[in-house]
Structure 1
């Protein structure tokens, strides 16, 4: 009985999270006429038509938004993971003056909402002429305090000091130890940081909304928002918005299914092979 209660709570939580996704899936299959006439969870017959109309809308601007989002999320998450891994490893494995102060400042940075930083960041980028560019969205995502915090905690637990000392005795330099010992042991943690950052940047709305004025540089979040605003006067756009929302979550699902195997990797296999 004690096991059934947490299982039931988890099932209810999963149902609560999956219900909106199920509604989007069903609504995207309906034609404009069916969207407001059939039952809420009755599938329609307009999915292929909606996909065609969405692809043709403004010469395929939706796919440009999709490519922009993949660039922002993929590039930002990769750079952020690299910076977080190196910084976290250094904070965990090296003793130097000001280390605790730097770590405490990072903890404080985790507590600062991104909304507070968006406007000052825009003013700074406008001052140097980078507003309304891809860099204005990409660069602020690279330094992520929470990612560095996770990397520091994970490096401290997963990388034994004795293994590093053995590498130094064998003549290995610090960068070589980082490449051949530290980073392989930190792969599961780095995958976690990458996924967190990828999802956060993929779903980010406020920063690109403030930074960008050219809709050719918009990510999906801002692009679909502009469609939603236009849908107030053109109800036929609602089908395109729902279909676009469905397509926007498919890459996230595929990413999680593809990368979850790295969490099951033996933590020490990489360093042993190196």
Structure 2
């Protein structure tokens, strides 16, 4: 059992290591192979290195925050007390009554498709609104968007801003690489490889990889930009939250401005920084 858990842990970190290796390789290919070996103009070289370094720093900062920020767990008051557990264990009817009474007391609005207060059997707690149980994290997570293998963590209330900024800075990072390496990618085909060396193949792959990730990141970033404007998580976009009155996909939409502030906070100075804001 311990060996199985160890193997699963290692496997779950593989995508994270892959992203790290991409950053390392792109830094070598861009700084060394392109800027130092191919860019002849000093001002252009410095400009490329500075902008590249700033974007890389922001990507790594957001990436680390998204990975290592603890997932937002359910507050203690949503868990059943010892007395409530004893009463709930008497039978299904008693359990349902305990959960319903506690849910009403806590003013929980979300319901199951049958109209009952949502209760997690695994965690033995009432689910607050917008909360879902993550099988990977093995806990209920507040405002869960999805479990992302690329950060080996749940994207949720506590780190959604960091995840979104990581997508944004990664998109700008890849777009900058693609735009600035394009001219040297074209020059690559006119070079005599026996003179210039096969290291210039890094430019070829750098351009193709940056274009590929620019397109994919643009799609993902645009999708999450839309979700922020309507105050909806990925799970809620797939399945509308249910209330006493029935499903309502726009239940949490308070207008574009308020939805934006809910994620990024009220201070414009902190909007583009991976620091938690309320």
Q: When the two structures are superposed, what TM-score results if normalisation uses the length of structure 1?
A: 0.29
TM-score w.r.t. the length of structure 2 is 0.29
Task: Considering fraction of residues, name the structure with more helix.
Answer: 1
Instruction: Name the larger-Rg structure.
Output: 2
Larger strand fraction of residues: 2
